[in-house]
Amino acid sequence: MITKRQYLEYKELGIKYLEKAYVIIREDEKEKIEVADFGLSDLDNFAIITLTFFNTERISAKVIVVPPRRICPEHWHPPVVHDPGKEEIMRLRWGTLYLYVEGEKTSNPKAKLPEYRRKYFTVWHEIIMKPGDQYYLPPGVKHWFQAGDEGAVIDDYSTCSRDALDQFTDPDIVRIPVIKEE
Ligand code: ZN
């Protein structure tokens, strides 16, 4: 759960990063910016700020701001009825991103996880992304990521996005943000 004040603070932070990364957005789109804490109420560790440009039954495009060292927890995109699951391409626009996927475990990974949730991170094949790098994530593959010290801005292209149906390794996660009125 996040408070209205935290939501506004992170929304402004997101706008600041979008400006740094030269993402031009309209005034009315600012109201569509979503701040996710994944239900963990620990924005110092777990936070992403997302603006979805469009999301149809077949295609979706969004920009994701990951503030410095914040984490998007381990998840995968499961099949939904006739859809084999979200197919996603992440392209780094600004900053540094440490992306982790299934595969050979990387020794001395760059990610820094809070000890109390470390057990919910099980894939450790590291991909270090710099601006212009892009990475293809097939449906069903487990992944998670953490921004580097300066943060990261990601262009994210995919088939239909159904965030509410994403599966997470951590059982305490609630994907759709709940904002508490103060
Ligand atoms: Zn994903």
DSSP string, 91-114: EEEEEEEEEEESSSPPSS-S----
Question: What CATH number does the domain located at 2-180 have?
Answer: 2.60.120.10
Report CA(75)–ligand 1 centroid distance (Å).
Answer: 6
In this prediction, residue 66 carries a pLDDT of 98
Q: What angle do CA 73, 41, 175 make, to 5 degrees?
A: 45
CA 100 – ligand 1 centroid, Å? 11
How do residues 92-142 score in pLDDT, each as one tens digit? 999 999 999 999 999 999 999 999 999 999 999 999 999 999 999 999 999
Residue showing tokens 């997302």: 50
Which is more confidently placed, 163 or 109?
109
Within the chain, where are the H helices? Answer: 4-20
132-170 in b/e form (b: 16+ CB < 10 A) is eeebebebebbbbbbbbeebbbbbbbbbbbbbeebebbb
Q: Where are the domains of the chain?
A: 2-180
* pLDDT of amino acid 165: 86
Q: Which of 13-17, 56-60, 177-181 has the lowest mean pLDDT?
A: 177-181
3 state SS of 49: strand
Indicate whether 178 pLDDT > 90: no
End-to-end CA distance of the chain: 12
Token couple for 50: 């997302």
- For 130, other C-beta atoms within 10 Å of its C-beta total 12
Give the Å distance between the CA of 152 and the centre of ligand 1. Answer: 15
pLDDT value at position 177? 82
How high is the pLDDT of residue 107?
A: 97
Asked whether the beta carbons of 156 and 136 are under 8 A apart, the reply is: no
Cα 143 to averaged position of ligand 1 atoms, centre (Å): 7
pLDDT of residue 175: 83
Q: Ligand 1 center to residue 28 CA distance, Å?
A: 26
Q: What percent of the chain has pLDDT over 70?
A: 100
182 CA distance to ligand 1 middle (Å): 31
Tell me, in angstroms, the distance from the centre of ligand 1 to residue 25's CA.
23
Q: How does the average pLDDT of the chain come out, rounded?
A: 95
